Structure 1
Amino acid sequence: MKRAKSKGHVYYYFDTGQTDDDGKRIWKRLPDPADKAFAATYAAMLGHRARRQNVVERLTVAKLIDLYQCSDKFSKMADSTKRLYRLYQAELVDKLGTAPAQLVERKDIVLLLDQMADRPGAANMVKRSGGAAYAWARKRGHVTNDPFFEIEEMDTGEHEPWPEAALQLCLTAEDDIVRLTVHLLYYTAQRIGDVAAMSWRDIRDDAIHITQKKTGKHLIIPLHQELRKELARHSRSLTTIIPGKPMESKNNRLRLAMQTICTEAGFKIVPHGLRKNAVNALLEAGCSSAETAAISGQSLQMVEHYAKRRSQKKLGLSAMEKWERT
């Protein structure tokens, strides 16, 4: 119970133990303690709260995940996102499925994720998909706890460039969003957040004008002919090139869509790896480090660092051709 004072009057409120759609705690007005109805009203509210709490504590993690996957919010996700969430939420259910959802604590999730330390990428997906389910459940009033609160994602190490087969798979994917996203990532050498924020109005004079969020650098990137062809397949609008608001949820949606297609084909990738593919492609094409940096927006030192993963085979062939010409 809490007491509030307004305009010289004191008011009393009861904590229902529930939250609204914005996650804010719901309080209900109580009669004044001097009022004869106070005791009966307080007892009734307390009884309702206790009954709700009992129901919540009997809701298992497995049932919570099942409810989430049957929800309208889940149904509106892209099919690729749903497949990936089901995959990693199944790991959460396998380890904690019978536990009361309301009683799961942060330390329980930390222990679970630490046991997956040899698979940091999978651990991060369990955190994201499980956290999404709990966030939905809190808004619906099914639980009030947040066992995923401020758990940092694991370091997955330095991102590797995509295998050539994975790159070609996504550049020719039937999924329009995946194909468009990969074309933009690869042919601009930018981060996924910057690509997600690109708008049609940023395309001027046959180039994309962007300001990198991380560095603040303004870049004018000429359109590669393959990117120009891909953009021509899509209708222009006053919004972003890739549909959806450029927020973290959009970045995750795009990331999951690409990873799902690649995972199903046996490839393990992260979107940021495409920056290495792009940098290496520019260098292998004979571009200088300065020319490459003008596209990627990186420092010359970072370009040289990325250059370590250039294809020795391609460079060897190029070197031999130049040698033979002399």
Structure 2
Amino acid sequence: MKYLDKIGFYHYYRRGGKRWPLKGEPGSRGFLEDWRIAEAEYLGTTPFGVKESFNEIADRYLVSPEFNDLGAGTQKNYRVYIKQLRRDFGPSPIGDIKRKHIRAYRDGIAERKGAANQSVRVMMALMAWAIDADLIEINPAANIKELKGSEYLPWPDPLIERFFKEAPKELVWAFAVGLFSGQRKGDVLKAKWKDIEDGTIHFVQQKTGAEVWVPILPELETILKSIPRRSLHILTTKTGRVWTKSNFDSTFKRCLDDLGIGEYVFHGLRKNFLEMAAEAGGTNAEMKSWSGHTSNTMVDHYIKRADRKRLANAMKAKVLKSAK
């Protein structure tokens, strides 16, 4: 191999009277990356995909067709996390970012498990794009295990009843639409009266762009009839203004803190909805048509959980019968 030099156990790229150390065995990924860097430094060029920084790759990803194909909500979320990732990885050459570095970043914010896990997901998406763009060969964020306990909790029935009784009515209205439609908070707040037709509410989900028509359950119908029409939007503040995300989030959080149930969040109602649908015998396709999920994984989880619950109750009945 031209310009390769070996001294003892170590390999070097030697050229023009200079020498650059090379890691690993000849032909290995680390060896080839070091070779490309050394050659580029000698020639005064930048090795494509090795010395380009995280910031440069992130900039390219954010204007890529793949990023633009994501839903508006997902794009906004990714931008937030990429901005945070830049603080630690910004100037680092993309080829130098290893699995251990991403794990260290995740562990550094482990007290916020949801943010830690989402950071890894966003990094994995960005690195996957870099692979497709022939910038790197291996995704260092792939298969990093998520921290446990970061899932949104479904609301227990007693807390749901308490919220309906004690929370301000404007929040109860939003809570009910979320609980009985299974939609995300942003989609719930954007719902308009004109979206109600033929016993359904029509949603166009911000995250995925999916259109769903959610049948209005009797419980939700009762709530909707109690809401005054103060705007084109179904849900408003007590002054009749359309909720902004920040205003709703702060108001909802204050309410939860006042009630002493701050560990629960609005998105947990989506899980309540899936549990109710599964326990009612909903099929995977039926539940996805309501929730807008595109993957079977999450929906199957609730169906299997409901099946286990039904089997447990059936077994309980048999045990009680045999004990008589």
Query: Structure 2 length as normaliser, TM-score?
Result: 0.47
Larger RCO of the pair (alpha carbons < 8 Å, separation 6+) = 1
TM-score by structure 1 length? 0.47
